[in-house]
Amino acid sequence: MPPAQRLNCWEFMNCGMEPGGIFAATNGPCPVAEQALNKNGDPGGRPCWEIMPGSSRSIRHTCRFTRKSCHECPYYQRIQIEEQAHRFEETIAGM
């Protein structure tokens, strides 16, 4: 998918937890959004499951907004499909 169409997790989920977001003032900003925005807001928030802080794997792989595991998250599922499509396109282009 072209980079212009690639969304960060907070854009896809519309959670309002990004710095300056509607819920960030009461709940604190999401650490994924903070870290990605420190990198100029590029699609750094795409692999949010790799960025989420936590002392254990089970806490790390739980969305701060939905409290669901990554595998249940529609954003995570979308990224997995996009990555599979990208690998397929690279394979076809290499033939």
Residue 2 — very low, low, confident or very high, per pLDDT cuts 50/70/90?
A: low
pLDDT tens track for 43-74: 556 777 777 655 445 455 566 666 777 788 88
The number of CA neighbours under 13 Å toward the Cβ of 65 is 26
40 has pLDDT over 70: no
Question: Do residues 65 and 30 lie in contact, with contact meaning Cβ atoms separated by under 8 Å?
Answer: yes
Instruction: Tell me the whole-structure pTM to 2 decimals.
Output: 0.68
pLDDT tens track for 81-94: 988 888 888 888 88
The pLDDT of residue 29 is 85
Residue 95 CA to residue 91 CA, distance in Å, equals 7
Top-confidence residue, 71 or 22: 22
Residue 61 CA to residue 18 CA, distance in Å, equals 18
